[in-house]
A and B are shown apart, each in its own frame.
Chain A
Amino acid sequence: MIKLVDYGVGNIQAFMTLFKRMGLDAQRAQAPQELEGATHLVLPGVGHFDHAMQRLNESGMRSMLEEMVMGKRVPVIGVCVGMQMLAVGSDEGSLPGLNWVPGRVRAFSGNALSANLPMPHMGWNNLQPTGGAKLLAEGLDEDPQFYFLHSYFFDAQDKSDVAATAHYGFDFDAVVSRGHIHGVQCHPEKSHHWGAQLLKNFAEL
């Protein structure tokens, strides 16, 4: 059973709709006990980094989540700000992140190559897979297009964690996979057949 971590931030409904359509069992979890029995975890997130971290901290689910991910090694995928929360911290805020994947979240505006581009990075861009990450292994070999909507990006410390980059002024880390922990900056839940394929790959991990 896939569990969607519903801490009050992010588009849970879009995931529910898509998983249902794909014939995959998914449930939202709003309390620690509702996380029990998860075979896979989805951590969505939108908006401000600190707001998302604060809401997760206040949800009461954080320690259970850490036990499941770090202790029981349940596969997890962070989406958009949910991916950014995997980092140690973000230039957007001051709260610490989950620190599950070494790296920091940085602003596009802080990079000369993207400083003059319209912000947020909004629209359809292609993922450039960097290796054989299982998340992208099936059905995504032909110029996969994904929907992006963000002004900050995950800068992985260990570049061997990077499963795909995308280009906006420069190549930034758009997908990370570190063991069973995954993060995608784009929105697979709104990326048509490419997004459904990515989530299917995740559900089969």
Chain B
Amino acid sequence: MLRPRIIPCLLVHQGGLVKTQGFKEPKYVGDPINAVKIFNEKESDELIVLDIDATVLGREPDFGLIAKLAAECRMPLCYGGGVKTADQAARIVDMGLEKVAVSAAAIANPSMLSGMAAAVGRQSVVAVLDVRKKTGLFAKGYEVYTHNGKTLHKADPVSLAKQLQDAGAGEIVINSIDRDGFMQGYDLDLASQFRDVLKVPVTIMGGAGSMEHVGQLVSKLGVVGAAAGSLFVFKGKYHAVLINYPTPAQKIQLCRDALKI
């Protein structure tokens, strides 16, 4: 049977691998290519690599970096950061990546996703929504941001996710800005809003600090993608940088416990 996907998400900033908290304070944690090599050895389910500089600097994707990642990576790889056009997506897929993630460009113009889907196939088009809880005395619900949490979009995250799916996305990633890097668990209230509304696979990101948190997500949502950054780059209570990933036996146990099979 199909298993939940447990996905390390690596952030690239100024050429290095970083981990943020609440999308802020990028802390250097190592070299992206070296991290990919380690996740190869650990047989990670998938990998997401996001260049967090490209969109805010108005740069195109770093094709040099992508080529290096593609040459090393032996698991399904999703790249995001600065992707604006179907041609860029096609170039990335041709380099050997399975998926291309878009956020700002798709939110600004959802119809660009149909061009991307036509170029690389819907299964390779991933739309990422960075979501933050509304703040204020009477505020309820969530808001969508782009440009590393700096640009607000007046759209309901669930309707926007559906719109992006209908426009051509084959997977939706929901990333909680509030939970990012705090390792206190996924925002399950947020995560549970999408699974029943969407027809494409959903991946939840932001907040995982332990495999128990991953288990909670899978218990609540079933077979989904569970992505995490800090969980797989920090170890122990002092958060020493140490790339880690569950063993095959731990993954099987997690499936059994969380899915009751």
Give A contacts to B, CB under 8 Å.
11-14, 17-18, 21, 46-48, 118-126, 145, 147-151, 167-168, 187, 190, 192-193
Q: Does B96 belong to the interface (CB within 8 Å)?
A: yes
B contact residues around A151 at 8 Å (CB): 122-123
Q: Does B211 belong to the interface (CB within 8 Å)?
A: no
Query: Is the CB–CB distance between B96 and A14 below 8 Å?
Result: yes
- Cα distance A145–B6 in the bound complex, in angstroms: 14
B contact residues around A17 at 8 Å (CB): 70-72, 74, 96
A contact residues around B198 at 8 Å (CB): 118
A contact residues around B98 at 8 Å (CB): 11, 149, 187, 190
- Cα distance A125–B3 in the bound complex, in angstroms: 6
- Nearest-neighbour CB distance to chain A for B184, whole angstroms, equals 26
User: B177-204: contact bitstring with A at CB < 8 Å (1 yes, 0 no)?
Assistant: 0000000000000000000001111100
Further pairs besides A120-B170, A120-B201: 5, Cβ < 8 Å? A120-B123, A122-B170, A124-B5, A151-B123, A167-B1
Query: Is the CB–CB distance between A46 and B1 below 8 Å?
Result: no
A contact residues around B76 at 8 Å (CB): 147, 149, 187, 190
Query: Is the CB–CB distance between A124 and B3 below 8 Å?
Result: yes
Query: Is the CB–CB distance between B96 and A120 below 8 Å?
Result: no
Q: Does B95 belong to the interface (CB within 8 Å)?
A: yes
- Cα distance A186–B122 in the bound complex, in angstroms: 17
Q: Does B149 belong to the interface (CB within 8 Å)?
A: no
Q: Does B120 belong to the interface (CB within 8 Å)?
A: yes
A contact residues around B46 at 8 Å (CB): 123, 147
A contact residues around B121 at 8 Å (CB): 46-48
Pick from B1, B123, B170: contact of A126, CB below 8 A: B1
B residues 30-80 touching A (CB-CB < 8 Å)? 43, 45-46, 70-72, 74-76
Q: Does B171 belong to the interface (CB within 8 Å)?
A: yes
Query: Is the CB–CB distance between A119 and B200 below 8 Å?
Result: yes
Choose among B43, B123, B202 the residue with the greatest number of A CB atoms under 10 Å from its CB.
Answer: B123
From DSSP, what is the main secondary structure of chain A's interface residues? mixed
- Cα distance A151–B123 in the bound complex, in angstroms: 8
A contact residues around B70 at 8 Å (CB): 13-14, 17
Query: Is the CB–CB distance between B3 and A149 below 8 Å?
Result: no
Query: Is the CB–CB distance between A11 and B201 below 8 Å?
Result: no
Pick from B118, B199, B201: contact of A122, CB below 8 A: B201
What residue of chain A has the Cβ atom nearest to residue B99's Cβ? A149
- Cα distance A109–B51 in the bound complex, in angstroms: 35
Query: Is the CB–CB distance between B3 and A122 below 8 Å?
Result: no
Query: Is the CB–CB distance between B74 and A18 below 8 Å?
Result: yes
A contact residues around B199 at 8 Å (CB): 118-119
What residue of chain B has the Cβ atom nearest to residue A13's Cβ? B96
User: B148-180: contact bitstring with A at CB < 8 Å (1 yes, 0 no)?
Assistant: 000000000000000000000011000000000
- Nearest-neighbour CB distance to chain A for B84, whole angstroms, equals 20
B contact residues around A121 at 8 Å (CB): 2
- Nearest-neighbour CB distance to chain A for B71, whole angstroms, equals 6
B contact residues around A193 at 8 Å (CB): 43
A contact residues around B93 at 8 Å (CB): 11, 46
- Cα distance A115–B179 in the bound complex, in angstroms: 34
A contact residues around B4 at 8 Å (CB): 123
A contact residues around B43 at 8 Å (CB): 192-193
Given contacts A123-B223, A168-B2, contact A118 B71 (CB under 8 A): no
- Cα distance A89–B76 in the bound complex, in angstroms: 27
A contact residues around B5 at 8 Å (CB): 122-124
Given contacts A147-B76, A190-B76, contact A120 B122 (CB under 8 A): yes
- Nearest-neighbour CB distance to chain A for B125, whole angstroms, equals 10
